[in-house]
Amino acid sequence: MNYIYPVNQVDIIKASDFQSQEISSLEDVVSAKYSDIKMDTDIQVSQIMEMVSNPESLNPESLAKLQTTLSNYSIGVSLAGTLARKTVSAVETLLKS
């Protein structure tokens, strides 16, 4: 998952047209999306660990790529945390009313 590049408007439209017979509640949708984010971050962690453990990773190109990958990972984890907080806040607001 690459967070630096802008999101395509077509992707947003496709995401808004999301219809599935399996997912029927807000809880299921949120759970499915967070599990997708978890899988993506697990993949990124394994890629980062692979890059760090590679003895050839000390050249400038590899270090620049590692820095970009770490930056994308950090942005993704921060975004997931923010979205989780916002989701919890929205659910609490709905439950109060």
**Rounded to the nearest 5 degrees, what angle is found at the Cα of 41, between the Cα atoms of 40 and 45?**
120
Confidence class of residue 4 from pLDDT cuts 50, 70 and 90? Answer: low
- In this structure, the number of other CB atoms found within 10 A of the CB of residue 91 comes to 13
pTM given for the model: 0.63
What are the pLDDT digits (tens) for 34-54?
Answer: 889 889 999 999 999 998 898
Looking at residue 82, its pLDDT comes to: 93
